[in-house]
Structure 1
Amino acid sequence: MTRTLDRIALRGLRARGRHGVLAAERELGQEFIIDVTLFLDTAPAAAGDDLTKTVHYGELAEDLVKVVEGEPVDLIETLAQRLADVCLAREPVESAEVSVHKPAAPIPLPFGDVVVTIIRSRS
């Protein structure tokens, strides 16, 4: 029987970073928007009303923002991987879906958003 995991989602987390391949992106920076969905079993936390058995999403948000505001990378794919690593570092998390939005990407045409979404699981 396949076990169904619960989900905790954090949507629309905003942080300023200096990611991109262009010099202007590194110099000026821009806003990135992060969405994460964590897949885990929340039953142990719910059974004992115990925060230590789930993910503290406030602390997670702070750690994700540190990554976005931290060391610049060329690709948002790389940024997404670093964010996924932060999510998977939390013990009850079995897998994570991470989307990085770059709404101010340097595209010389009208567009709504650029998004890279990855799904990663514990090895």
Structure 2
Amino acid sequence: MRIFLALLLIGLAVAGFATGSIGTQAEETTGAAIVAPVQVTPRPDTCLNAADLREAVADKRVIEPVAAIRAARKVIPRAEIQRARLCRHEETLVYLLTALRRDGQFVHVMVDATTGEISGP
């Protein structure tokens, strides 16, 4: 009897998934996403090295990388930040953040390093 009930439950679960009546349990946001205007991202050779980054943060010329990551999370809240680089872009310093979304896509976000505002995708 137990085996029959187990097989029945498995069969119903498979039928539910096959017909689409049972959806995924992952959270999905249905709100409108914030879309930044398309801009050219800085080239990797214009990025500062780790020592220059530490010096700029110590001199208070730029915000800390953690603050830039917090700003990026407002645009892509469920993504995992993979890399944060400080780069020169159009005569200013920006943090170029690379994030991995839950759907497996990489996203680039630019944060102004002096104000902490999102400045591009």
Q: TM-score, normalised by structure 2?
A: 0.29
Using CA pairs under 8 Å that are at least 6 residues apart, name the structure with larger relative contact order, 1 or 2. Answer: 1
Flag the structure with larger Rg.
2
Q: TM-score, normalised by structure 1?
A: 0.29
Query: Whose strand fraction is larger, Structure 1's or Structure 2's?
Result: 1
